Each structure stands twice: as structure tokens, then as C-alpha cells.
Amino acid sequence: MSSKLKLGEEILTDLAAIQDQSHRDKMLGDEFDLPRLIGVGNGRTLQVTKAIDGAITALAVQLKAERPKLVKSITSKDFVSLVRAACGPILAELDLDRPFAETGAELVTRVEKAVDEQLAGLPRREHAFGVTLFGDPGVAPFSIGPVRFEEWDAWLTRKRADGGLSAITEQRLRKAWAGKKLNKRKPSMASVQERNILSAMRGAPYVASVRIEGFASSAGLEAAATAVRLAVTTVALLWPTPSRALEGMRLRFDPSHHMEEAVTFIPGRVVAGGSRLRGTPFGPSLTPDEWANSQAAVKPVFSAAGDAIALLTDPDDNPPRVGILRALLQSLMWFYAGCRELNDPIAIVNFTASLDALASGAQGQGILDVLKARLGWAPDAAFYTDGTTLKQVVEKLYGEGRSQLVHGTSKRIGYDWAAERAQAESLAGRALIACLEFVAANPNLDKAKALRV
């Protein structure tokens, strides 16, 4: 692998070599159909070759690797774009008659300075997502870690107060929310903002907001969206079957509920059509009083889940209690995936992975240890009325379910796994709640293995 200084030298050498070439000659041997152009400022561009573009990408990869603190806060794609944008104006200024080793080193130094300045100046962002959280209005604002949930009206009031919306925009959004037709607005930044808000929220009764600092745009948006998904999953854990609650708890950012339709042909009969609703357009029913009365019980769950979810929006990759919080975070992620999964066997893999995360990867025995330590369930005691023990259930889910499916050795492909899916979701959900409560009650714990002892 070439060093960054060698890459800088290569870029200048190749750039000098193509100075007298035509636009077409610079594209020879390039599968990309259009000229490779880099902005150099004032609307001007510089055409480069595939080799130069590749060297710039390689330089970006090295520069990012030298900055391990950026591993979460900016995607590799965005970092390459940042380096590419920094290179343009510098390449346009460098004297190609000077020694290439000298100008290459200057290129690298100046690009590093420009990129570091850009990253140091990343603004604080607040990402907002429309959410169909509850089917009933009136639930007071609440937070789970970095995620704040508010009704649409409360969110508008807050954004107007903090200067995020003009008075006219607020009024028009309230009018639109009431189902009234809006008069056409003169094109402006405010009109674009209004249109974007209406499009993003699409009539969702609740808004989930995440404030995030030290992240570039793409990485920050994805971290915020994931944080909201997991916060919604934490809320869904309060229902007996979280996956059913999540059918109606959806971000407008994600795929919506929809009709699944098919046409069926049966020999000797007329064509039959069939459809079913995947998901629901509204969240589960919950009155404001029911929510208020549940807060004392759910506070520990929300507290520990919030601390775990906050890992996503913290650019520091090694905060306090990181070990045990990572276990909770990854368990939540797998649980969410299991709830959203359409295929029963794959859902079992996800739910069992959620349990495995709580057990620090200690396999079936580790899962049994978690269930015994946190819920008091004895592995060899009858778990179901037919005498089936918890150990037998876990062995089946982890062995026939997770391991055989993942390793391609299952003999039950195409079978009905609905009952096993329900078992896996129930065990994972109960264990996750118990572990969250345990972590909230023991704030000094920092090792994930504490969950199974």
C-alpha cells in the first residue's frame, strides 16, 4: 500500500502527464461514461483520469484510518467526498513544474488541514421523524436517551420557540395538519422547509427528535434514525407481544404499512384474488392516563435503554460502562430486527441473537444463565404445562433455530415455525426487560458478563 505522501506524488505526476490531452483522451479505458470532474471553486472544474480519482480515494482511505475517532461520525463515502472536494482547489493552484514529491507533500498537508477544519466545524443537528407511536392523542412528551417523543402540536410549539420555524410556517403547518388546503406560497427557503416537513411527517401524530453533535450529515442521519427505531422498540416492549405493537409504531422515514396482494389460479375455478394488510396505519391504543400511570414502572427500562441507545449518537466510541451498554444496544438491535422480519425462521435467528447478545455470545448455556440470573427461571424445571423444560426450549431455539439455519444444516426449511417464533420473541423480550431493569438498578456495572451471574 502506498503511503499518503507517495499517493500525493502520484496524483501530481499523473495530473502533469495529462495536461496536453483532450477530454476524450483522458477518458480512454474508463468504464465511466462521463468525464471525471472535480470542482476547483468559482464554478470551475478540473478533469481527472480514473487513475487520479482512484489515488484520491486511496488517500482518503488512509487519512480516515489515521483518524480512528471518526469511525462513527462520518461514513467512508462522505469522507472520500470531503477529501475529493478539498483536493480540487489545491490541485488547481499547485505548480506542476515543481518536483512532484514536493508538490505531492504540499497537497497532502493542505488537504489534511482543510478536512480537519471541516470536521471541527460540524454543526449540531436535530433530526426529526414523523412516527405513528400511539393510536390515542394526548400523551405528554417523553424521552428515551437522545430520542424525544412529542405530539405534532407540542413539537411545532417547541420548534417555533427555539427559532426553528417562522410564525407563518407554523401557522400554515397547523392549517395543513387540520386538513385545510394551503394557498400557494412564494418560492423561498421557508416554503422549501414547509414542504419538507409536510413530506417527512405525512400526517404522523407524533414526532421523534434526536439532537446530535460531531457527526457528518449522512452518518448523523443514520445514527438518529436507528436511535429512534430502537427507542420505539423499547416502548413496544411494554406490550405482551412487542412485534404486534410495532406493526403500528412506524417511522415515516421507513417503509409504511401496505397491502400485500396476489392473484391465485385454481384449476377448474375462477381466478381468485387475495390481499392482506402488512402493518397498521396507527399505533396501539393507549390513553394519556394509562401512559402516565405506567411511568414509575417503565422508568428503569427507559433509563437503561436510553443510555444504551445514546452510544449511537456519541462520537466517542469508549464512554463509561461501554461493555454492558453495548450488549444491551446490540440486543435491542437484534430484537427490533426480529420484530420487523417477515420470515419466521429468520425472525427466530434474530430473536436468539438478541438473547445471545445479553449472554456475551456464551451460546445456549449463556442464555440459560441470563434467564436464571435475571428472571429466576430454573433450566430443568417444567416451563410449559406439557412438562417441556426451559433448557429444552432454549436448546431447540438455539440449535435447530439459530445455529442450523445460520450454518445451512436445517432439515426444517419450509416447515411451520410460527410457534417457535412466538417462543423466541417471548424469551428475548422478557430477558431484555429484565436486563434493562437490572442495569438501571446497578449503575456501577460495566462488564456485560454481569448480566448472566
Residue 265 or residue 232, greater confidence:
232
Domain ranges of the chain: 4-120, 123-254+284-297, 320-453
Q: In the predicted model, what is the mean pLDDT of the chain?
A: 92
How many helices and strands (H and E) does the chain possess?
A: 17, 8
What is the DSSP code string of 339-383?
HH-SSHHHHHHHHHHHHHHHTTT-HHHHHHHHHHHHH---TTSB-
* Residue 330 binned pLDDT confidence (cut-offs 50, 70, 90): very high
Residues 257-280 pLDDT 10s: 777 777 777 777 766 667 777 777
Kindly tell me if the per-residue pLDDT of 119 is higher than 70.
Answer: yes
Average pLDDT over residues 350-357: 97
Average pLDDT over residues 247-265: 82
Q: Residue 37 in 3-state DSSP? A: strand
Contact 137, 204 (CB under 8 A): no
- The neighbour count for residue 79, using CB atoms within 10 Å, is 22
Reading the block at residue 49, the C-alpha cell is 483520469
Q: In the prediction, which pLDDT does 25 show?
A: 84
HEC secondary structure over 107-137: HHHHHHHHHHHHHHCCCCEEEEEEECCCCCC
Kindly tell me if the per-residue pLDDT of 218 is higher than 70.
Answer: yes
Q: Rounded to an integer, what distance in angstroms lies between the CA atom of residue 199 and that of residue 192?
A: 11
Q: In the prediction, which pLDDT does 271 show?
A: 67
How far CA 74 is from CA of 210, 313, 448, in Å, comes to 17, 12, 27
* Residue 207 binned pLDDT confidence (cut-offs 50, 70, 90): very high
Average pLDDT over residues 343-348: 95
Find the range with the poorest average confidence among 124-138, 209-223, 255-269, 333-347: 255-269
- The neighbour count for residue 22, using CB atoms within 10 Å, is 10
For residue 177, what are the contacts with CB-CB under 8 A and spacing of at least 6? 152, 153, 203
Within its chain, how far is the Cα of 319 from the centroid? 19
Residue reference for cell 430484537:
335
Average pLDDT over residues 328-345: 96
Q: In the prediction, which pLDDT does 270 show?
A: 66
Residues 283-319 pLDDT 10s: 888 889 999 999 999 999 999 999 999 999 998 878 8
Q: Rounded to an integer, what distance in angstroms lies between the CA atom of residue 324 and that of residue 329?
A: 9
Q: In the prediction, which pLDDT does 272 show?
A: 67
